[in-house]
Structure 1
């Protein structure tokens, strides 16, 4: 598998990102290895909060939340998905599949032996993270679902998603920072836009970002549909506490929270729809999202 690695100097002096880099060597499922970057902040003995980002962001998305979690006494693990951030980037779009993303990210859980996890997942962080929960339910103590879904291809994805997917394939150049900017209610500074573009020196690094929208199951016979249906079967049996926190301004994910609220562990939980929050609610209301997560942990402890 041919891979690219973003030069380190692309990440110099990013605003509000003082975190130390950590790396894992993971099996690429094609006879080789990939280097996966992750943040590991807060007290090491504490139970972990696993923060999973989506498209086309990276762990920078959680920069306003990580200090709040750490100050509350939680360990925070925030990986960069393969193809994003400081992680290696397979060069061919065909190298990226939904199943590979699940398998690659599962290795973070197994290599670090994460247990008693609080999952915080948004966008593709949910499509992957919820599959991890289904695969290893005993590792998870609670789940926070934010602006995401677990589609099976049995229902239309909606006009807003179809519009985004078409845009993602046609836009030239693919400007990750401007895409994140467009998915927020409060908007980003030029330096923050540049930070989201930092992982992608040129188009050759963007195979993963271009591929992601096309990997969402959109028909019953999609390669990932069966696996996602199987995941739902597992999740419907779990009593794991689950909280939905969605942004009121997210048109793509509108209404998806109600699907998760039908799960057993979601019953009676203080679900939220936050005003003035778009798709990337970590940007718009990151401290509020972190505070609600901490309260949820306290509420469901023991």
Structure 2
């Protein structure tokens, strides 16, 4: 099992992202990096890194989960506003961002991502969490929340879904997956720009490329598209299908907040809103002029919507 960690100098001087890197050990001693900001951010030390659970009096704890092929940088426009209301924890999944990376595609699995997220949440002992998730962050995060509801206070699901072994994917997703399968060099910046309504600067695109100095470091990004559980393939359907059933009994607040211009996940919005019983209790809102990576297109607006959701519930 080959491993690599992106040199820290590749993350220096990123626009709007001067957050300190913290980490915990998960799985087979894999280093999972995260940002920890706001009121009552963790303050304990483990192997030189901050890992604490924070103060029990913290008003809110927000857990922000990214997807493919992004990392915590995606949430930079949302962190400041949320951090004014509580603790904001933004991990990078294994294989992404400032976390350790496996260099062989076959070493990645749904179970790896699920288990390392679970260990991460348990290591920090996050409680009463408002989960904010998009893309794969939702596929893994909502699945985990379905099995561990006691750790969560609310769900915010954005441009994501909980696929099952009976899910049929959109044609645009098949095109994306087929592209990733056939390229020799994965153009991470291009993929993000193509799924964003706003024009990103060269510096912002470089920030998304920063975690991946070579193709071996992109093994996780190559693996994730084809891993989506679905009718004709994928991985992890035994977990997501059960989670899909469990979410039909979800009783805590849930807010489904999708972009109005995302052909990949747009069709999943209404089914997800119907799946989670409490979702229909929240406003029926589309984020306008936003695409798949809606955090880039409307991050500040989304943060305000999330805070309003917290106030309502």
TM-score over 0.5 for the alignment?
yes
Q: Give deviations 1:27-56, integer Å, cap 9, x for gaps.
A: 23xxxx100000000011323100000000
Q: Does 1:85 align with 2:81?
A: no
Question: Unpaired segments of 5 or more residues in structure 2?
Answer: 41-54
Query: Quick check: 1:169–1:210 contact (8 Å CA) kept in 2?
Result: yes
Shift of 1:175: 1.6
1:121-136 pair list within 5 angstroms: 121-136=133-148
Find the aligned partners of 2:288 and 2:67 in 1 and give their Cα distance: 21
2:151 alignment partner in structure 1: 139
Query: Quick one: distance in 2 between partners of 1:110 and 1:168?
Result: 33
Secondary structure (helix, strand or coil) at the match of 1:261 reads helix
Counterpart selection for 2:77 from 53, 58, 64:
64
1:234 partnered with 2:230 = no
Give, in whole Å, the separation in 1 of the partners of 2:284 and 2:118.
Answer: 27
How well do the aligned residues superpose, as a CA RMSD in angstroms?
A: 1.2
Question: Which residue does the alignment assign to 2:37?
Answer: 41
Give 1:292 shift: 0.2
Structure 1 residue 283 corresponds to structure 2 residue 296: yes
Distance 1:270 1:108, change over 3 A: same
1:110 corresponds to which of 122, 147, 153: 122
User: Quick check: 2:226–2:234 contact (8 Å CA) kept in 1?
Assistant: no
Once the 2 structures are TM-superposed, how far is the Cα of residue 227 of structure 1 from its aligned partner? 1.6
Partner of 2:131: 119
Q: Is the contact made by 1:152 and 1:220 (CA closer than 8 Å) also made in structure 2?
A: no
Q: Name the residue aligned to 2:164.
A: 152
- Post-superposition Cα deviations, 1:198-241, rounded to whole Å, max 9, x if no partner, equal 00001010100000001001227754222211111211111111
Contact 2:63 2:89 in 1 (8 A): yes
Aligned residue number for residue 7 of structure 1 = 7
Q: CA deviation at 1:136?
A: 0.8
Which is worse superposed, 225-234 or 124-133? Answer: 225-234
Unaligned 5+ segments in structure 1 are none
Given that residues 243 and 271 in structure 1 are in contact (C-alpha distance below 8 angstroms), is that contact kept between their aligned partners in structure 2? no
CA distance change for structure 1 residues 299 and 190 in 2, over 3 Å: closer, same or farther? Answer: same
Q: 1:2-49: per-residue Cα shift (whole Å, max 9, x none)? A: 211000111010000011111001123xxxx10000000001132310
